[in-house]
Amino acid sequence: MSVATCPVAIKKINVQKLKRKKVMVNEIMVMKRNRNPRVVSYLDSYLVHEQIWLVMEYMDGGTLYDVIRMTKIYEDDIATLSRECLQGLEFLHSNHVMHRDVKSLNILLRTDGSVKLADFGFSAQVTPKQSRRSSVIGTACGWRLKWLKVNHMAPKWTYGLLELWALKWWNERFLTRMKVLSRHTGIPELRQPKLLSPLLRDFLSCCLQRDERRRWCAKELLQHPFVTSANPASSLVPLIILVKKWKEERKK
Could you tell me the CATH number of the domain that includes residue 105?
Answer: 1.10.510.10
Any domain includes 193: yes
Catalytic residue among 44, 66, 77, 101: 101
Say if residue 108's pLDDT is above 90. yes
pLDDT at residue 19 in the model: 66
Q: Are residue 123 and residue 180 in the same domain, yes or no?
A: yes
Q: Are residue 191 and residue 126 in the same domain, yes or no?
A: yes
Any domain includes 246: no
pLDDT at residue 167 in the model: 53
Among this protein's residues, is 60 annotated catalytic? no
Per-residue pLDDT tens for 131-140?
A: 454 444 444 4
Any domain includes 87: yes
Q: Are residue 27 and residue 143 in the same domain, yes or no?
A: no
Q: Are residue 91 and residue 148 in the same domain, yes or no?
A: yes
Q: What percent of the chain has pLDDT over 70?
A: 66
Say if residue 73's pLDDT is above 90. no
Per-residue pLDDT tens for 21-42?
A: 666 777 777 778 878 899 999 8
Q: Are residue 107 and residue 165 in the same domain, yes or no?
A: yes
pLDDT at residue 102 in the model: 79
Any domain includes 3: no
CB-based contacts of 55, cutoff 8 Å, min separation 6: 3, 8, 9, 10, 42, 43, 44, 45, 46
Angle between helices 75-94 and 198-207 (to 10 degrees): 30
More confident site: 72 or 109? 109
Any domain includes 20: yes
Say if residue 175's pLDDT is above 50. no
pLDDT at residue 123 in the model: 57
Q: Are residue 84 and residue 183 in the same domain, yes or no?
A: yes
**227 with 221: CB under 8 angstroms?**
yes
Q: Are residue 165 and residue 139 in the same domain, yes or no?
A: yes
Q: Are residue 107 and residue 182 in the same domain, yes or no?
A: yes
pLDDT at residue 33 in the model: 80
Q: Are residue 96 and residue 202 in the same domain, yes or no?
A: yes
Domain carrying residue 92: 64-238
CA distance 41 to 117: 10
What domain count does the chain have? 2
Q: Are residue 38 and residue 118 in the same domain, yes or no?
A: no
48-54, Cβ contacts within 8 angstroms, sequence gap of 24 or more = 48/12, 50/14, 50/15, 50/16, 51/12, 51/13, 51/14, 51/15, 52/12, 52/13, 52/15, 52/24, 53/10, 53/11, 53/12, 53/13, 54/10, 54/11, 54/12, 54/13, 54/24, 54/27, 54/28
Instruction: Enter the pTM of the model.
Output: 0.78
Any domain includes 250: no
Boundary residue ending a domain (40, 57, 74): 57
Q: How large is the average pLDDT for residues 9-16?
A: 84
The CATH number that applies at residue 15 is 3.30.200.20
Any domain includes 91: yes
Q: What percent of the chain has pLDDT over 90?
A: 28
Q: Are residue 39 and residue 132 in the same domain, yes or no?
A: no
pLDDT at residue 146 in the model: 35
- Give the highest mean pLDDT range of 23-32, 56-65, 163-172: 56-65
Q: Are residue 196 and residue 225 in the same domain, yes or no?
A: yes
Say if residue 91's pLDDT is above 50. yes
Q: Which of 34-48, 54-68, 169-183, 209-223 has the lowest mean pLDDT?
A: 169-183
Say if residue 151's pLDDT is above 70. no
pLDDT at residue 14 in the model: 82
